[in-house]
Amino acid sequence: MKKRLKWDSQYVYWGVTAALVIAAAIMFYMLTSKWPAIREVLRKFYRSVSPVVYGLVFAYLLNKVMSFFERAFLRRLCARMRPNDAEKAKRLTRVFGVLITMALFLSLLGGALALLLPRLYNGAESLVARMPGYFRVAVDWLTRALDANPDLEEAAVTLLGNITENLTNWIQTGLLAQANDIITNITSGVFGVLREVANIGIGFVFAVYMLYHKEKFAARGKKLLYSVFSLRFANKLIRGMHFVDRTCGGFVVSKLIDSTIVGAACYVFMVAFGMPYAALIAVTVGITNVIPFFGPFVGGIPSAIILLLENPADCLVFIIFIVVVQQLDGNVLFPALQGSKSGMSGFWILFAILLFGGMFGFIGFLLGVPVFAVIYEAMRSLSRARLEVRGLPANTDEYESIAYIDAGTRLPVCPERGETGDDAGKGGGDAPQN
């Protein structure tokens, strides 16, 4: 008699698993082999939805400002204006909140651009005009330094000759041959800038709509989560989103405000001391301050070199100012704005900056710390939960004073006097044998 196949048997389970693994491997191979085409499709998709992305970013950043205005005075004001109609008072509060927030943001943005753009242009123009003089000063200094060392002078002349020869060959064979491609790229770049400006304008329109209906968007998102996932998993997702909002959102908003204050303080200080290129250097310091840890060096070193070529005394004063400001910023201003720390040590902060910055460039430098903080906190919570389930200590400090945990009693065992933790822990998970 022929034996019937049981669908719940172990062979069917392993067969289905193997089929799924093979299918996943085939899909992975197809994705990697067709990656250029897939990347182009993703780029076109992002280009199409970029106004919506801009709108989401603007709405997220401006939501806290609008909520502040609503809590501060708009709710009470609109309740007095519509004392007998709570629904109309609520809608009126939202309308006024959106209008005041957008008007304030556009006014600050327009005022900052009107104030900074002329000064940035004049500073950049003056810097470019003085570059030949700076170059001559550098050449004279280098000539005097090389005169005292003939061997170094010969090596420098040879190096300069090689650079000049390679540059000439590149201009004749590469640059002129690619002139049409360069002109095409410049033209497409101009159109790309104009397209991004238009997308930003449309993004403001989306931001207004999202701010006005933010409760509905949140409700629809929760409705979708509860309809797709289990109740327990959906609750975990919502709690995770709140944690990401507190960590990443709070970090980004605080960093933007912090960098604006640092840039403004730098501009006021340089103007008060009569230093050149005040607007250009202040904007550079403010923008690079967004980058954690490395930002002060990225913006401060080139600015100090420019001031050194102009006036060494200004360079020294500027360096002292930057050091003082960055100490106050890192220890007082930014912690006060953020309200809470990332919970990571300096080692992990530096690791996150290097990892994400190397992978994603400037965006990685900016978001590396908060994103890694989310991953770090998730791993720490998972580790704590598993330790609690096993009945083991969850506090890291408790592991500093113990040698090992007894496998039978699950109690921590401290090393004996004069015995290192490694010596006490020999013999695996069981207690050492006498």
Predicted local confidence at residue 181, as pLDDT = 60
Is pLDDT of 102 > 50? yes
Measured between alpha carbons, how far is 219 from 216 in angstroms, rounded to an integer? 5
Contact 311, 270 (CB under 8 A): no
Tell me how far apart the alpha carbons of residues 258 and 99 are, in angstroms, rounded to a whole number.
25
DSSP structural state of residue 5? P
Average pLDDT over residues 42-66: 86
Give the residue from 259, 255, 267 showing the smallest Cα distance to 115. Answer: 267
Write the DSSP symbol of residue 178: T
* Residue 417 placed within a domain: no
Looking at the predicted structure, is the pLDDT value of residue 427 above 70? no
pLDDT band at 421 (very low <50, low <70, confident <90, very high): very low
User: Is the confidence at residue 4, as pLDDT, over 60?
Assistant: no
Distance CA 423, CA 413 (A): 12
Most confident of 108-117, 218-227, 342-351: 218-227
- DSSP characters over 369-427: HHHHHHHHHHHHHHHHHHHHHTT----GGGGGG-SEE-TTT--EEPPPTT--HHHHTTT
Give the H/E segment covering residue 275: none
Q: Would residue 327 count as lying in a domain?
A: yes
129 in helix, strand or coil? Answer: helix
For the segment 130-146, the average pLDDT, to the nearest whole number, is 70
Region 302-319: mean pLDDT is 86
| Distance of alpha carbon 318 from alpha carbon 270, whole angstroms | 8
Q: Return the number of other C-beta atoms located less than 10 Å from residue 187's C-beta.
A: 10
The tens digit of pLDDT for each residue in 142-162 reads: 677 667 677 666 676 677 667
Distance from C-alpha of 362 to C-alpha of 406, rounded to nearest angstrom: 48
Task: Determine what percent of the chain is predicted with pLDDT higher than 70.
Answer: 79
Q: Does the pLDDT value for residue 431 go beyond 50? A: no
Output the pLDDT for position 208: 92
* Average pLDDT estimate for 378-407: 77
Q: What is residue 6's DSSP assignment? A: P
Q: Which long-range contacts (CB under 8 A, 24 or more apart) does 68-72 make?
A: 69/96, 69/97, 69/100, 69/101, 70/94, 70/97
Tell me which H or E stretch contains 139: helix 86-147
pLDDT at 18: 78
At 336, list the tokens: 């006060």
How far is 87 from 72, CA to CA, in rounded Å?
19
CB 277 within 8 A of CB 314: no
User: What's the pLDDT band for 423 if we cut at 50, 70, 90?
Assistant: very low
The pTM assigned to this predicted structure is 0.63
Cβ–Cβ < 8 Å for 291, 369 = no
Please compute the mean of the pLDDT values over residues 352-375 and round it to a whole number: 75
Q: How many separate domains does the chain show? A: 1
Of 92-96, 223-227, 388-392, 430-434, the range with the lowest mean pLDDT is: 430-434
pLDDT score at 176? 55
Greater confidence (133 vs 90) lies with: 90
How high is the pLDDT of residue 432? 44
Q: Can you give the pLDDT at residue 428?
A: 46
pLDDT in tens, 71-86: 888 889 888 888 888 8
Contact 270/278 with Cβ under 8 angstroms?
yes
- Of 199, 200, 203, 216, which is closest to residue 94 (Cα–Cα)? 216
Answer yes or no: is 110 within a domain: no
Rg of the chain in Å (alpha carbons): 31
Alpha-carbon gap, residue 223 to 247, rounded angstroms: 24
Place of tokens 């100490």: 327
CA distance linking residue 68 with residue 27, whole number of Å: 48
Band (pLDDT 50/70/90 cuts) for residue 219 is: very high
Sequence-distant (6+) residues with CB within 8 A of 102 are 62, 204, 207, 208
pLDDT of 45 > 60? The answer is yes
* Single-letter residue type at 431: A
Whether 22 is in a domain gets the answer no
At residue 6, the pLDDT reads 53
Structural domain contains residue 401: no
Q: Which residue has the higher pLDDT, 432 or 152?
A: 152
Determine the average pLDDT of the residues in 266-274.
90
Q: Taking 80 as the threshold, does the pLDDT of residue 378 lie above it? A: no
Q: Which residues pair with 405 in a beta bridge?
A: 412
Decide if 254 is inside a domain: yes
CA distance 295 to 366: 10
Cα–Cα separations (whole angstroms), residue 423 to 113, 393, 398, 419, 428: 66, 22, 19, 6, 11
Residues 108, 113, 115, CA angle at the centre, nearest 5°?
95
In a domain, 29, yes or no: no
The CA distance from 369 to 251, in Å, is 9
Is 280 within the bounds of a domain? yes
- Per the structure, the complete domain to which residue 266 belongs is given by 231-341
Q: State how far the alpha carbon of 44 is from the alpha carbons of 39, 53, 140, 413, in Å.
A: 9, 14, 52, 60
In this prediction, residue 426 carries a pLDDT of 47
- Residues 77, 97 contacting (CB under 8 angstroms): no
Q: Which tokens sit at 92?
A: 């009126």
Crossing angle of the two packed helices 35-69 and 179-212, in degrees rounded to 10: 40
Q: What angle do CA 370, 289, 50 make, to 5 degrees?
A: 60
Examine the pLDDT at 109 and tell me if it is beyond 70: yes
